[in-house]
A and B are shown apart, each in its own frame.
Chain A
Amino acid sequence: MRGRVLGLVLAIIGVVALGVFALDAQTPKEVVVGVIIPLTGSAPGTGQDCKVGAEFAADMINGGVKAAAGSALLGAGWNGIPSLGGAKVKLVFADSQASPEVGRAEAERLITTMKPSATMGAWHSGVTVAIAPVIERYRIPHTTVSTATELTQRGFQYLFRVGVNAHQGGEVLFQYLDWVARDGKKWNKLGQLHEDTAAGVNFANAIEEMAKARGITPALRVPYSREQANMDSEILKLKSAGIDVLVQTSYTSDGIIIRKTMRKLDYAPALIFSQGGFDDDPKFYEAMGDDANFGSKRQLWSPALSTSKPILKAINDEFKRRNGRDMNDNSVRYFTNVQVIADAINRARSAEPSAIQKAMVGTDLKAEQVLLVHGVKFDEKHDNVLAKAMVAQVLDRQLKIVFPAEAATAKPVWPIPAWSTR
């Protein structure tokens, strides 16, 4: 009789113990999130910005950023993912080397070895297009800020675009042109100069479509390969055609060569509008000095917005303290990427990729909850319907918002002054 009671007690203890362990197993201590970015290659400065932006967000979500306390930012005041018992977000990085082939191989390697719950990347549209099928095959929910239109036109279920797509990014250009026209500024010909991978081609296509829809005939389109050294024909062609509104997509090295060639050949259009890339990279400003001035770009963030969002100043200051520079479009976008993923994990109450994907479809973040100027809500193609951009111009070697008026911190300089006067 005593033996049976003992046996029963032991059995109960065993079951309870098993239960405790099982519970622990279901609640993970950490959630792995993969980040595929160009840490080396033609834009390492950019990759570094994305990295520190993502790390900053992860740190905030894990409870390490006091400056965020009390704000509406998603993840502020958290101490790990709440619904998972405070499981910490752990970022693992893979280097795309700015190459689609390497990016794809690295994405696959990261997914199969680290088994992330979600991923983000790859900044270069061309690389994102290459890794998208891999993501889809392994069914890992993935956020991206790449603008290439095709990313949301191929029916990917697991890819979500957090930032503007090519059309949303280009839209602001036309709004800006209308706005300066009301000020009496005139221009004649719209032309495009773009690198020939997904980012440049998609944006140029979108601009063409939108221009034609507004009755503007694009006068000239000059694609170029980034591997070449000499941009003289490109700039001469634009100059010869009298292009005064120039839409440009370039990465850092080609951006530098182009600007230098413009100076050499004395070509200064009234407006240079870039979708971002070279002019987000600190290296460009270092290399060009004053010659970087007066270019404009599609801008998604500005610390100056802190008048409307005071928390932005505190966050930016903390970032600056940690990293020695202000946040920019890249660090902000990757910060937001992490927020969107953390939000989905939290609502899914699970670290399982498929559960996270379902939750991510229903993302509904207001502008106050993220660092970008707009909120995040996905349509059926997984574009962010709330995404919009501003226009910034480089003045005194710094990017300042010039449009829309409510967010502007400076008046635009139109036209770009002739090189001889600079």
Chain B
Amino acid sequence: MTSVLVVDDVHASYGRFDVLRGVSLRVASGELVAVLGPNGAGKSTLLKTIAGFLAPRQGSITLDGEAIGGLRPPALLRKGIAYVMQRSSLFPKMTIQENLELGAYVRETTDEVRTDIERVPALFPRLAERRRQRAEGLSGGERRMLEIGRGLLLRPRLLLLDEPTMGLAPLVMDLIFDKILEVRATGTTVVMVEQNARRALEVSDRAYVLEQGQTRVEGRGEELLRSEAVRRAYLGAGTAGR
């Protein structure tokens, strides 16, 4: 299989805190890969490092065979890595339309880009009618959709999603997962950090489980779902009442 992304034994720290202590994973073209694990395992930090907000102290990251460890976000965006943060990252006082336009910032403003900006709301119909509305007026689910839509404007090679369903109501969560699958269906490779492990495993092709900054488990989505050990250790909290 051709790997789009290869993370090899990456170590990264915030000041004196070593958060990633040797994480390795690989993602194939067109895959939807989930990254799971308890709080503090380093999942978000992993995405931040791939996205260029943190430089790896040790180890390597390659995209389509090209080393990208240590490059900063603007450069990575030009290589086709789009990153949707865990926290809300819309520009609150700017309109939905303007937020989308900024998603294509690193691309030359051409007709192609303009068409893309038209198309995204089609993916997210609820946003289409309210283009001129300020982003701060959106609900949690709508925000997430806009953020993902904005990320797509890059026509990214790789889409990184950090906890896309966090804090959302169950029905909205389903909506988001549906959208993520739609995105994957267009051929975009997606790496997704998720707190809701069960649902994540249900939709992804493969998954990694991180613990204390290291890769603990790796496998196909259904396998991990069925594994007793995994279920007991990691699926308890997210599965109550389902």
Direct contact of A and B (CB under 8 A): no
Q: What is A's interface to B at a CB cutoff of 8 Å?
A: none
